[in-house]
Amino acid sequence: MQGTSLAALFDRADSTALPALGGMARPDGVIIASERFFAFAGRDGSLLEGQMPQPPAFARRIPLLRGLARLGLSVSPLLKRNGVAGHIERLVLFAVLLAPIAFVFLPSRAALVAGIAMSVGLIAWLMRGRTLYLHGAEHRAIAAAEQRLLGRTWDGAARPSRFSLRCGTNFVALVLPMSLLADRLWPFAPALWTPVVVTAITLGLTMELWRAVQGSTWPAARVFLLPGLALQRLTTREPTIDETRIALTAVASVVRRELG
């Protein structure tokens, strides 16, 4: 997808209603995904294409469950076999997901320290290398698709915002207070399954709140997104035109398949 074929694709996409796109930045490239397809464009010029898994129809209708399903889909390009992440990285991610079960056997203070240490370490690991710049490029490329400026953004004539209302950073900023609230209000005695259940409920509720805020026409609802937008000043950097084109290459791959 280079030269005239890429220009033609962007021209067509900029005149067509496109499906919602999401993404994820990595040290070595950018993932862009729709509900059906994903693509990973690497800094080395590589391009990995794949299909997104489809949850059962009932999982899309049940509150909380639909939020967890959507959250699982967002990380599926990393966790699936032959996906973007390597074997070791997948093991690390699975270990992080299972860590709350292990923390139940620790004293409360030790569990708190371990949780903070794990969170800090995970953030540092995820944000290594050029991730912050590619994170900005991911937002810019998705905004270009939404604003029908793909061609102009590729040429450098347009520079959509590197900040996004739908960024996962906004979700994380909502999860933290919701987790503290859930721990405070949990009415049952601690058990082995408690961390898993509380975490699942927290994530599901936060996803419902996050999507409701995004779809709300009430201006005051956007207050819930302000912490995440402020946090994006730390998790994104102004990308170069080459980094923006990496993200746009992934967008082009997904859009090409969506348009048939």
pLDDT at residue number 98: 66
Determine what percent of the chain is predicted with pLDDT higher than 90. 36
Q: Are strands 47-51 and 22-26 parallel, antiparallel or unpaired?
A: unpaired
- A 10 A CB-CB count for 224 gives 18
CB-based contact 153:141 (threshold 8 Å) = yes
Nearest alpha carbon to residue 134 among 97, 203, 68, 84: 84
Name residues of the chain where pLDDT drops below 70.
1-4, 96-112, 114-116, 118-120, 122-123, 126, 189-193
Rounded distance between C-alpha atoms, residue 255 and residue 19, angstroms: 9
| 3-state secondary structure at position 40 | strand
The three-state secondary structure class of 39 is: strand
According to the model, what pLDDT value does residue 199 have?
A: 78
The token pair at 152 is 């102009």
Quick one: which of 118, 115, 117 has its CA closest to 104? Answer: 115
**Measured between alpha carbons, how far is 30 from 236 in angstroms, rounded to an integer?**
13
pLDDT of residue 58: 80
- Give the tens place of pLDDT for each residue, 136-182: 999 999 999 999 999 999 999 999 999 998 888 888 788 778 877 77
Say what the pLDDT of residue 219 is.
76
Instruction: Assess contact for 43 and 246: CB atoms under 8 A.
Output: yes
pLDDT tens readout for residues 109-123: 666 676 667 666 766
Question: What is each CA distance from 226 to 33, 147, 196, in whole angstroms?
Answer: 25, 22, 28
Using alpha carbons only, how large is the chain's radius of gyration in Å?
Answer: 19
- pLDDT computed for residue 251 by the predictor: 97
Residues 6+ apart with CB under 8 A from 117: none
What pLDDT was estimated at residue 202?
83
